[in-house]
Amino acid sequence: MGFERKDLLGTRDLSAIEIRSLLESAESFKEIAERPLKKVPALRGKTVVNLFFEPSTRTRTSFEIAAKRLSADAVNMSVSTSSVVKGESLLDTVDNIQAMAPDIIVVRHKFVGAAHMIAGRVGARVVNAGDGANEHPTQALLDMLTISEHKRLGPGLTVAIIGDIAHSRVARSNIWALTTLGVTVRVCAPPTMLPRELEKIPGLVVCERPEEALAGVDVVMMLRIQLERQDRLLFPSIRDYARIFGLNRQRLDLAAADAIVMHPGPINRGVEITSEVADGSRAVILNQVSNGVALRMAVLFLLGGQSYE
Amino acid sequence: MSSNNSSLLLKNIRLIDAGQNRDEKNLDILLRDGKVAEIAPDISFAADQVIDLDGAWVMPGAIDLHVHLREPGFEYKETILSGARAAVAGGFTSIACMANTRPVNDSAAVTRFILEQARSAPAKVLPIAAISKGMAGEELVEMGDLSAAGAVAFSDDGKTVANSKLLRHALEYASLFNKPLLCHCQDNALFADGVIHEGLISAAHGLPGIPTLAEDIDIARSIMLAEYLKVPIHICHLSTAEGIRLVRSAKDRGVKVTAEATPHHLFLDERAVIDLACGEVLDDSLKPNQLRYNTVTKMSPPLRATTDVSALREALADGTIDVIATDHAPHEATEKAVEYELAPFGVIGLETAVALGLRLINEKVLTPLELTARLSLAPAEILGLDDRGSLAVGMAADLMIVDPELEWTVDPEKFYSKARNTPFAGWRMQGRVVKTIVDGKVVFNL
């Protein structure tokens, strides 16, 4: 196989070959979801700990289903970050988990680099399920898997990512994966949510207006707007945001006729995307969710299942 | 320090002293009763102790006007004694300690406590008092009482005096006592929850950024106040090209502004956050996973862009930056061994600063004379210490002896400081302080 890392911490450092081999492997896991008995023994006897320092029902459930379909023992551990700040340090928490000898630790944390810290500390394989605004590699990879079902994923393809780029790990992981694969990436956000110097990242086109970003594009990725950001003076109101940056039918018409619409979920209907578009024929939002399970099975398998080859 | 009724003759030295504008070889220097007694090519004097230095450099002891000694209140991080030991091991003979202790040094009682603790310390410890009570930015400290107790300057370092009226009155009132204000310039709202420089690395890695603007706006405000009031002001740890431009143009207009830069801002840029080695060939003490997001790269102001670093080096060379100061900020290992965004700001610097200064000579940024100006002469002038900063006859016999060829590797485990949070671990250095003398007495011997 083309994936020989101890951990999956991000897409930034992945080569095109690594990404392609992860996607290939995910393809082969897709059909398990179609079976009446949705289980293979690939990771029997392996322990996967879902260590979530930040609430996330979807991602955690997706990893849990992926692990269980591979016959691994999946254990969920939720730790509230506030109690961590006051009490046990991250490394102490992780040492405790390592002492129970898990094979894979899936970690979600609100701060950048937490998964890297853990990976450097433990012998277990670590999958980053989101670290602050940095990376969320399995989301980007499941997005690649979804795009490849509809489009030729490579040079010639143009993807627009629209929303709160500054605070989005989904945006970053997608930017790295897409640019590595030679895809042209346009990003668009209110200036308050666009990181300074983003334009210096090779392969990125920064667009001021969504109309510009959408023109003729093959794939539209809308990002979830975190409503609490309004308190931080980043935009005046949800209404104003939706008016200028929300994806509606008229704006979608600017994209290529066969453009697909993606969203990492959960969606804020009527904010970054109208219900008409979200439930429309071009939306592949639920395919993303299904592909998430297959992709995460591939990741867990490649990290933890070599001995079952 | 108590003065020392003995004599020490250092033979065959290269004297480097900006205060006398001398960089001369084949000299002897005689230290008597804690002071410089004579400098001449061949001194014959029956000194209590004679050391032949075989051409080693003798420079005035470095004076650090910006350190955090953590005592009282945070003795687990550093004490006055451990900090002073680190200082003399690095060539610093005087260190001025910031007021952000617990309790804050905002009263004569705390200042006296610090001086009392410093009696057994090998370096001269100079307390800096807070500008505002509790560093809360609301009421002025009793500057007269604090000056009389021994405070050498005022600073709410780490915090900015956001209230411009309070800062105005602090500048006015401190001028009564000829004590400088040392300003940590930062607009708190723009600084927000930032942890690294707002630039390419923060954009790419999602770490909250600290814009250069947060620093520059406050530097501009501070300079405008000093200019309006015609009083001196000292800007702490410049890190931005724009901040330098503001200081340079103020100096050109005759504003009495001085500025410092830290060694870490002169040697490291934002890229160190994701690759601590960053071009430097380190020894193998750091594991690969310790190179990314290592919290020893987290300090305030943050490591800036490469263009800021070059501007800083240029400003250090042309004198816009008067002083190299360490902003020595010790933290306990477990405090730094946390998520990057949660880690406290600050790195230590007392045991590496002079060696990095010597490296600036090797890299042709500074001449040896300019280095002694930045490390000794200018900080003494800013703090109004007229007995030190130079080795002219009659001055305090505070000096460092440097072997400019000695090669060594920075090993934090060997530090005298209680703390290990240096970004320079594993750096290979050329040139090192081999002896430090305070008031004529050898207080450090490598």
Q: What is the CATH number of the domain that holds B251?
A: 3.20.20.140
pLDDT tops 70 at residue A81: no
pLDDT tops 80 at residue A308: no
pLDDT-derived band at A112, boundaries 50, 70, 90: very high
Judge: A111–B334 Cβ closer than 8 Å, yes or no. Answer: no
Mean pLDDT for chain A?
Answer: 93
pLDDT-derived band at A82, boundaries 50, 70, 90: low
Percent of chain A with pLDDT over 70: 94
Q: What is the pLDDT of residue A84?
A: 54
Q: Which member of A111, A169, A195 has the closest CB to residue B202?
A: A195
**Gap from A30 CA to chain B (nearest CA, Å):** 31
ipTM (interface predicted TM): 0.94
Of residues B400 and A305, more confidence is placed in: B400
A150 is catalytic: no
pLDDT tops 60 at residue A309: no
Judge: A132–B206 Cβ closer than 8 Å, yes or no. Answer: yes
Reduced to 3 states (helix: H, G, I; strand: E, B; else coil), residue B86 is helix
For B323-369, what is each residue's pLDDT tens digit?
Answer: 999 999 999 999 999 999 999 999 999 999 999 999 999 999 999 99
Residues of B in contact with A85 (CB under 8 A): 342
Cβ-proximal residues to B46 (8 Å cutoff; 6+ apart), any chain: none
* Chain A CA closest to residue B203: A195
pLDDT tops 90 at residue A274: yes
Reduced to 3 states (helix: H, G, I; strand: E, B; else coil), residue B234 is strand
pLDDT tops 70 at residue B418: yes
How would you list the strands of the sheet with A47-52, edge to edge? A73-78, A47-52, A104-109, A125-131
Q: What is the pLDDT of residue B316?
A: 98
pLDDT tops 60 at residue B3: no
Reduced to 3 states (helix: H, G, I; strand: E, B; else coil), residue A76 is strand
CA distance A40 to A59: 21
Q: Which two tokens stand for residue A31?
A: 């059909």
Could you tell me if residue B89 is inside a domain?
Answer: yes
* Chain A CA closest to residue B274: A113
Asked if B301 is an interface residue toward chain A (Cβ–Cβ < 8 A), one would say no
Q: Which of A41-45, A75-79, B51-55, B419-423 has the lowest mean pLDDT?
A: A75-79
Residues of A in contact with B293 (CB under 8 A): 112-113, 116-117
Mean pLDDT for chain B?
Answer: 96
Judge: B339–A90 Cβ closer than 8 Å, yes or no. Answer: yes
Could you tell me if residue B443 is inside a domain?
Answer: no
For B175-202, what is each residue's pLDDT tens digit?
Answer: 999 999 999 999 999 999 999 999 999 9
pLDDT-derived band at B386, boundaries 50, 70, 90: very high
Could you tell me if residue B45 is inside a domain?
Answer: no
CA distance B28 to B39: 6
Task: Please state the domain count of chain B.
Answer: 1
Could you tell me if residue B76 is inside a domain?
Answer: yes
pLDDT tops 90 at residue A260: yes
pLDDT tops 50 at residue B12: yes
A137-288: CATH number: 3.40.50.1370
CATH 3.40.50.1370: which residues of chain A?
A: 16-134+291-308, 137-288
Asked if B57 contacts B317 with a C-beta cutoff of 8 angstroms, the reply is no
CA distance B179 to B182: 10
* Cis peptide leading into residue A264 (ω within 30°): no
pLDDT tops 60 at residue B4: no
pLDDT tops 90 at residue A231: no
pLDDT tops 50 at residue B159: yes
* Chain A CA closest to residue B195: A112
Q: What is the pLDDT of residue B2?
A: 44
Letter for the amino acid at B351? E
Look at residues A16, A28, A11, A12 and name the one whose alpha carbon lies nearest to residue A302. A28
Average pLDDT of span B425-432: 96
Q: What is the pLDDT of residue A209?
A: 96
Judge: A169–B206 Cβ closer than 8 Å, yes or no. Answer: yes
For B282-319, what is each residue's pLDDT tens digit?
Answer: 877 778 888 999 999 999 999 999 999 999 999 999 99
pLDDT-derived band at A228, boundaries 50, 70, 90: confident
For B285-294, what is each residue's pLDDT tens digit?
Answer: 778 888 999 9
pLDDT-derived band at B235, boundaries 50, 70, 90: very high
Residue that is written with structure tokens 């050391």 in the block? B51
* Domain carrying residue B112: 61-393+404-429
Superfamily of chain region A16-134+291-308: Aspartate/ornithine carbamoyltransferase (3.40.50.1370)
How many cross-chain Cβ pairs, A to B, lie less than 8 Å apart?
73
pTM over 0.90, yes/no? yes
Q: Which two tokens stand for residue B43?
A: 């001194």
Could you tell me if residue B435 is inside a domain?
Answer: no
Could you tell me if residue B35 is inside a domain?
Answer: no
CA dihedral B312, B186, B329, B129 (to 10 degrees): 110
Asked if B393 is an interface residue toward chain A (Cβ–Cβ < 8 A), one would say no
Could you tell me if residue B233 is inside a domain?
Answer: yes
Average pLDDT of span B76-90: 98
Residues of B in contact with A132 (CB under 8 A): 206-207, 341
Could you tell me if residue B307 is inside a domain?
Answer: yes
**Gap from B305 CA to chain A (nearest CA, Å):** 11
